[in-house]
């Protein structure tokens, strides 16, 4: 680690006033020390000339499955429950220590290359240790956990676990990884979804997540078939059931939330539950269109995630931001989901979901240096700062525009080359 000076950039700060400024950023160790102005080049380890470049807060994706990256193309054109039963569960069951490590590393490479600096990740039943190893070595910031599945006749034998085992293995992983590298890695209990978890397990997750003050990350109300199973088994809808078990609070991250009824929406708003909207996945699995416009109008916390590679084929946030904006417009009108709202969800909104809004999600003095440097000037217009960079990013940027990604003050990707940390675990 050292000092980095980024010179002469267009800086999309996403601070309270959402200022866009031109100037320098000085990073000392892992923290932003100065932002704006023209700084002298003294005693810096690395200078990045960012003339004609745009610096943004690194994207925060609040729902990812790194273990599924290698399954891309193996689960096309199915809806959720068939997709899980026929493709994803057998593939997860076939993972070994090496394949999960490489699946995670490949996914992380794509994420860093496209400007994502933090993920909320859900692994599979086994070998999660090796996904954590990839996270640790890559330098990405992550909240991750072993998936928990102690119920479900259709789950392959190799993925079935008993309640005590599932809990013990989760706690072991938590004790090893939670807080690793000055808090860059955090643990989240990850019961897969209500369909695959016993009430006993979910109650224990509630107790343990309170005890360790860690997040709970699960899927909810993604698909009508899934909701029907939950309704038959519990007599309740997903979010009502999770609330009934005491899990609905501001440490709960719920992926999808497409088919919410009024009571579920109220619980999410009142209890500060975080919704992870995954528009690409919701379209490809034919799950539906989440009413994020309505959720945001009611001050719910909504952030974005690409979900796993087989239900999206693309882990980059540019894709998700664009889809998140576009799908609301035919329903609610052209201003219902503007570029700035979407960009907020992708940055500071994600930071709030992971409880790190004081540390990441915007570029401000005292915050951790998690950022991406973009070259937006290969665009079909005259190079000019008059083009709104947020509109440009949301509606037309691609991963090819990302030149450098920095997490916690370290360059982790430069010119598409990953710079894994020097000390493998
Ligand atoms: N619901 C339960 N498991 C999964 C999963 O792996 N992906 C998605 N999209 N939904 C799920
Ligand atoms: Fe998912």
What whole-number distance in Å separates Cα of residue 7 and Cα of residue 29?
17
What whole-number distance in Å separates Cα of residue 313 and Cα of residue 290?
20
Q: Which residues of 306-317 are buried (b: 16+ CB within 10 A; e: fewer)?
A: bbbbbbbbbbbb
User: Helix, strand, coil shares of the chain as percentages rounded to 5?
Assistant: 40, 25, 35
Using DSSP's 3-state secondary structure scheme, residue 259 falls into coil
Q: Which of 286, 329, 289 is nearest to 82 (CA)?
A: 286
Q: What digits encode the pLDDT tens for the residues 336-386?
A: 999 999 999 999 999 999 999 999 999 999 999 999 999 987 666 665 557
Q: What digits encode the pLDDT tens for the residues 270-293?
A: 999 999 999 999 999 999 999 999
Looking up tokens 């960009």, which residue turns up?
Answer: 343
Of 66, 72, 88, 197, which is best to mutate to test ligand 1, by the most ligand atoms within 8 angstroms of its C-beta?
88
pLDDT score recorded for residue 382? 62
**Around 274, how many Cα atoms within 13 Å sit in the side-chain half-sphere?**
25
pLDDT score recorded for residue 155? 85
- Residue 206's region, left for phi above 0, alpha for psi from -120 to 50, else beta, is alpha
ipTM at complex level: 0.99
339-346 and 389-396 are packed helices; what angle lies between their axes, rounded to 10 degrees?
80
317-326 and 339-346 are packed helices; what angle lies between their axes, rounded to 10 degrees?
140
What whole-number distance in Å separates Cα of residue 302 and Cα of residue 306?
14
Q: What digits encode the pLDDT tens for the residues 226-275?
A: 999 999 999 999 999 999 999 999 999 999 999 999 999 999 999 999 99
How far lies 41's CA from each of 4, 7, 225, 313, 338, in Å? Answer: 10, 9, 60, 43, 39
What whole-number distance in Å separates Cα of residue 172 and Cα of residue 66?
20
* Residues, CB within 5 angstroms of ligand 2 (ion): 307
What length is written for the chain? 425
Task: Check: CB of residue 375 under 8 Å from CB of residue 404.
Answer: no
Using DSSP's 3-state secondary structure scheme, residue 52 falls into coil
Q: Which value, in Å, is the radius of gyration of the alpha carbons in the chain?
A: 21
Of 71, 75, 78, 222, which is best to mutate to test ligand 1, by the most ligand atoms within 8 angstroms of its C-beta?
222
- End-to-end CA gap in the chain: 18
What whole-number distance in Å separates Cα of residue 247 and Cα of residue 331?
32
Instruction: Count the neighbouring beta carbons within 10 Å of the beta carbon of residue 298.
Output: 11
Task: Check: CB of residue 41 under 8 Å from CB of residue 5.
Answer: yes
Residues in the ligand 1 pocket, defined by CB under 6 Å: 65, 80, 84, 88, 192-193, 219, 222, 281, 307-308, 311
Q: What digits encode the pLDDT tens for the residues 172-199?
A: 999 999 999 999 999 999 999 999 999 9
């Amino acid at each position: 680690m050292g000092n980095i000076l980024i010179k002469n950039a267009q800086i999309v700060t996403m601070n309270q006033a959402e200022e866009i400024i031109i100037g320098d950023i000085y990073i000392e160790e892992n923290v932003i020390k100065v932002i704006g102005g023209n700084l002298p080049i003294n005693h810096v380890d690395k200078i990045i000339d960012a003339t004609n470049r745009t610096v943004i807060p690194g994207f925060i994706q609040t729902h990812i499955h790194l273990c599924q990256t290698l399954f891309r193309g193996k689960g096309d054109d199915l809806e959720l429950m068939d997709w899980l039963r026929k493709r994803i569960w057998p593939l997860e069951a076939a993972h070994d220590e090496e394949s999960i490590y490489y699946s995670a590393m490949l996914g992380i490479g794509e994420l860093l290359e496209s400007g994502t600096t933090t993920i909320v990740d859900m692994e599979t039943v086994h070998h999660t240790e090796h996904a954590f190893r990839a996270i640790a070595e890559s330098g990405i910031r992550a909240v991750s956990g072993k998936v928990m599945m102690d119920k479900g006749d259709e789950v392959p034998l190799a993925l079935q676990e008993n309640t005590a085992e599932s809990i013990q293995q989760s706690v072991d992983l938590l004790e090893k990884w939670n807080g690793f590298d000055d808090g860059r890695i955090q643990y989240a209990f990850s019961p897969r979804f209500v369909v695959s978890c016993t009430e006993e397990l979910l109650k224990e997750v509630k107790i343990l997540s309170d005890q360790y003050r860690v997040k709970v990350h699960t899927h909810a109300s993604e698909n009508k078939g899934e909701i029907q199973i939950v309704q038959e088994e519990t007599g309740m809808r997903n979010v009502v059931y999770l609330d009934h078990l005491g899990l609905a609070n501001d440490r709960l991250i719920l992926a999808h939330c497409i088919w919410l009824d009024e009571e579920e929406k109220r619980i999410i708003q009142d209890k500060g539950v975080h919704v992870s909207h995954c528009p690409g996945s919701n379209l490809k699995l034919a799950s539906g269109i989440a009413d994020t416009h309505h959720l945001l109008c009611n001050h719910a916390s909504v952030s974005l995630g690409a979900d796993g590679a087989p239900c999206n084929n693309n882990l980059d946030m540019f894709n998700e931001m664009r889809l998140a904006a576009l799908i609301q417009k035919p329903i609610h009108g052209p201003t219902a989901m503007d570029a700035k709202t979407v960009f907020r969800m992708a940055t500071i909104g994600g930071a709030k979901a992971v409880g790190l809004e004081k540390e990441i999600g915007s570029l401000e003095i005292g915050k951790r240096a998690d950022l991406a440097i973009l070259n937006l000037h290969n665009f079909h217009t005259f190079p000019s700062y008059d083009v709104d960079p947020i509109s440009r990013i949301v509606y037309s940027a691609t991963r090819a525009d990302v030149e450098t990604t920095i997490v916690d003050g370290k360059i982790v990707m430069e010119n598409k080359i990953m710079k894994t940390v020097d000390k493998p675990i």
